[in-house]
């Protein structure tokens, strides 16, 4: 299984995915950080049939809310990833991968609701707490103890 935490650790809540990747590594689970171009994900996840991606989202929900998507069942809304500084968002990359038949067989997207994106600030307490909750859930998935919902869902 490939676990990818997206974000920019220098832009407040945009570090959500990076925080989860770092938490997982502290618990002995391999996870990578990705702050580069979203299109590079196509090559990065080509090596695995099972992929989890974690990123900050902006949906209007309470900061720290957690959403999970199976892009095979529910398309990602491009507007959720509008805090990205990339020309191609995660949603764009997922749709391109689908068209090119390069979407992993099993993929889950974890979105952590973010609020603050200023350069040089720390992530909010809500996002740090949500990153810990997502870390625990992914640890369970890796251990084989939890089946992730196949529909979009929100948790707090």
CA distance 101 to 117: 33
Which of 3 and 85 is assigned the larger pLDDT? 3
pLDDT at 145 > cutoff 80? no
Among residues 3, 83, 82, 98, the alpha carbon closest in space to that of 42 is found at 98
Q: Check residue 81 and give its pLDDT.
A: 62
Among residues 121, 118, 155, 151, the alpha carbon closest in space to that of 136 is found at 155
Instruction: Count the neighbouring beta carbons within 10 Å of the beta carbon of residue 54.
Output: 30
DSSP β-ladder status, 66-69 and 153-155: antiparallel
Using a pLDDT cut of 90, give the percent of the chain over it. 76
Range of the domain at 67: 2-155
CATH number for the domain spanning 112: value is: 3.40.50.1450
CA distance 11 to 7: 8
- Residue pointed to by tokens 């702050």: 35
Task: Please state the pTM of the whole predicted model.
Answer: 0.88
Number of domains within the chain: 1
pLDDT at 41 > cutoff 60? yes
């Amino acid at each position: 299984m490939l676990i990818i935490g997206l974000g920019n650790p220098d832009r407040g809540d945009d570090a959500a995915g990076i925080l989860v990747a770092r938490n997982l590594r502290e618990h002995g689970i391999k996870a990578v950080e990705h702050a580069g171009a979203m299109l590079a994900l196509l090559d990065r996840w080509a090596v695995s049939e099972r992929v989890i991606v974690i990123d900050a989202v902006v949906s209007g929900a309470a900061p720290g809310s957690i959403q999970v998507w199976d892009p095979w069942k529910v398309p990602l809304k491009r507007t959720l990833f509008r805090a990205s500084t990339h020309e191609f968002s995660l949603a764009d990359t997922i749709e391109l991968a689908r068209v090119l038949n390069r979407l992993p067989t099993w993929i889950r997207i974890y979105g952590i609701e973010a609020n603050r994106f200023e350069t040089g600030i720390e992530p909010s307490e809500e996002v740090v707490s949500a990153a810990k909750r997502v870390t625990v859930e992914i640890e369970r998935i890796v251990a084989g103890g939890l089946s992730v919902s196949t529909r979009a869902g929100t948790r707090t």
